[in-house]
Amino acid sequence: MKIAVIVVRSLMGALFLFGSITFLFKLITPPEQVGAMKVFNDGLTASIYMMPTVKIIELICGIMFLSGRFVPLATILISPIIVNIFFVHVFLSTEGLPVAIFLVFANSFIAYNHRESYRALFVAN
């Protein structure tokens, strides 16, 4: 089980690290979007701050996943981003759905593995 957690954590970390670095340093020209996905992407781009913020959080979480430090915090920080990635690919562009499904299951798997770290969050004071 420990090896599976390390493999899944490393895959997620590499995926987020690669995605954030290529976006922040403009290493890859993004493909042309069409239809509703284009409108959605144009809205995110027009907000100016949204995509750089998301990519910086992905970069930080990717480093956390790869280093194995603060992994429970990384799973919490990356969760809203993964939920949005999943719903964008469910409703707007199904071509990235396998990766989105992997991210949902991988983050759930890692969070479940670190469930003891979250116990204090659910204690009523």
Identify the pLDDT of residue 116: 95
Identify the pLDDT of residue 31: 86
pLDDT in tens, 72-123: 999 999 999 999 999 999 999 999 999 999 999 999 999 999 999 999 998 9
Q: What is the pTM of this model?
A: 0.94
Nearest to 21 by CA among 74, 68, 60, 77: 60
Pair 57, 78: CB distance under 8 Å: yes
Pair 69, 114: CB distance under 8 Å: no
Identify the pLDDT of residue 72: 97
pLDDT in tens, 16-71: 999 999 999 999 998 889 999 999 999 999 999 999 999 999 999 999 999 999 99
**Which phi and psi (to 5°) does residue 102 adopt?**
-60, -45
Whether the CA torsion 19, 22, 51, 60 is positive or negative: it is: positive
